[in-house]
Amino acid sequence: MKRKICIFTGTRAEYGLLRPLMQLIKKDKGLKLQLLVSGMHLSREFGLTYKDIKKDSFCISKKVGISLKSDTSIGISKSISLGIAGISKAYMQLKPDIVVILGDRFEAFSAAAAAMISRIPIAHLNGGEATFGLIDEAIRHSITKMSHLHFTSAKEYKKRVMQLGEYPDRVFNVGAIGLDNIRNLKLLSKEALEKKLGFCFNRYNLLVTFHPTTLEKNTSKKQFSELLKALDELKETNLIFTKANADTDGRVINRMIDEYVSRHRQKSVVFTSMGQLRYLSAMKYVDAVVGNSSSGIIEAPSFRIGTINIGDRQKGRIQAKSIIGCRPDTKSIRAAVRKLYSKKFQQSLKQVASPYGDGRTARRIKDVLKNYRLDNILKKSFYNIDPKQRKSRF
């Protein structure tokens, strides 16, 4: 009998990361792929990206709608509760052998909580990471404790998952799955990308992706205003904006992007969802990723381009030497841009190496999902680390 592997996805970015794994599971004759789609995929405001999943020839097993009408704390709490209820029902119908969940968003928390209560084993990707500025930090570690198999993107993250009490033989350091797309996709030529984006590259070009720092209250408007001021001062520079996710105050940022692009159509474009092919192709031709997205930390170094990482949203992640950190104010962002284009920094980019693996992550995960014995996996005990083995706190 085929092992039924249910993959949950609630956002465009998450789907793009999981896609290589989904393709391998679909091709494996010993596995049955189930696809559970929810969250932003089903929202018109965020691009109805479930259609992109269908275009990639995947069969969606179940759709679970949650309310994304509000990005307030009350609105997101409502979305979480609706997600748990709807996803629980979907699990009852699909009866998966194991559920695969990536990351740390509130939609993923709903999927994990529902699986735990439904007594379905959970395989979690990207545990052990740290983002001190986000509610995702607590959500990620919560999902780790609900999960049974763990796939981490770096050795340090594996140690953190073990520090949370997970047994070493259930924690696999496989690298970042985001690098698989860079390795496997045939990226667009510059001319083809310009045509698809309706955008002409200038002498200098930046990919801007900025999201709320969710453990800060009402900072999104101020911080993004500071970024726009710095960007507006740049000469011979064109900008590609991607919109924020359905986080608290994300709509504030999205309105500001729309207003800015409407006033500067000659040098800027905006996308609700670029998809992995266009987004990674853009990375190939821009000078840097600017903002506070994990893609600037994980994927950008593989292209040997710079990243201007603003504020605390990604604070705590392992970072390559191509990352320039700065405060969320115009003066600091200006200084970061000067460093980015300095001869010394540009020369250093030639030697940058990603700390997140080799782009063969999906196959490693698929092999574990296929072969790991699931008998009695639900009953977990706590793995205690010998204090003598602790050289540092993780």
Nearest CA-CA partner of 184 in 63, 7, 16: 16
Would you kindly state where each structural domain of the chain is located, as residue ranges?
3-175+359-389, 188-351
The confidence score (pLDDT) of residue 212 equals 84
Task: Answer whether CATH 3.30.1390.10 is correct for domain 188-351.
Answer: no
**Which of the two residues, 72 and 129, has the higher pLDDT score?**
129
Q: What number of H helices and E strands is found in the chain?
A: 15, 13
Do β-strands 323-326 and 149-152 pair in parallel, antiparallel, or remain unpaired?
unpaired
Q: What is the mean pLDDT of residues 326-338?
A: 97
Which of 73-77, 104-108, 288-292 is most confident? 288-292
What pTM value is reported for the model?
Answer: 0.85
**pLDDT, mean of residues 20-43:** 96
Arithmetic mean of pLDDT, 220-247: 93
Task: Tell me the per-residue pLDDT of 173-227, one tens digit each, with 9 for 90 and over.
Answer: 999 999 999 999 999 999 999 999 999 999 999 999 999 876 677 788 999 999 9
Is there a shared CATH topology between the 3-175+359-389 domain and the 188-351 domain? yes
Q: How confident is the model at residue 393 (pLDDT cuts 50, 70, 90)?
A: very low
Least confident of 37-51, 85-99, 279-293, 322-336: 37-51
pLDDT band of 70, cuts 50, 70, 90: confident
How do beta strands 237-242 and 306-310 pair?
Answer: unpaired
Q: What is the mean pLDDT of residues 134-151?
A: 93
pLDDT at 386: 77
The whole-chain average pLDDT of the chain stands at: 93
pLDDT tens digits along 291-308: 999 999 999 999 999 999
Q: What is the pLDDT of residues 344-391, one digit of tens each?
A: 999 999 999 899 999 999 999 999 999 999 999 999 999 998 766 655
Distances in whole angstroms, Cα of residue 240 to Cα of each of 6, 143, 201, 211, 261: 34, 33, 10, 15, 10
Mean pLDDT of 121-127: 97
Of 226, 193, 190, 198, the closest CA to residue 210 belongs to 226
* pLDDT value at residue 391: 52
The confidence score (pLDDT) of residue 390 equals 54
CA distances from 228 to 203, 225, 274 (A): 19, 5, 21
The pLDDT value recorded for residue 45 is 84
| Stretch 19-33: mean pLDDT | 97
Mean pLDDT, residues 62-72 taken together: 86
For position 392, what pLDDT does the model report? 45
Domain 3-175+359-389 belongs in CATH node 1.10.510.10? no
Phi and psi for 46 in degrees, rounded to 5? -105, 20
**Are 275 and 16 in contact, with CB atoms under 8 Å apart?**
yes
With a cut of 80, say whether residue 20 has pLDDT above it.
Answer: yes
Residue 388 is predicted with a pLDDT of 65
Q: What is the mean pLDDT of residues 261-273?
A: 95
Return the minimum-mean-pLDDT range out of 81-90, 124-133, 219-228: 124-133
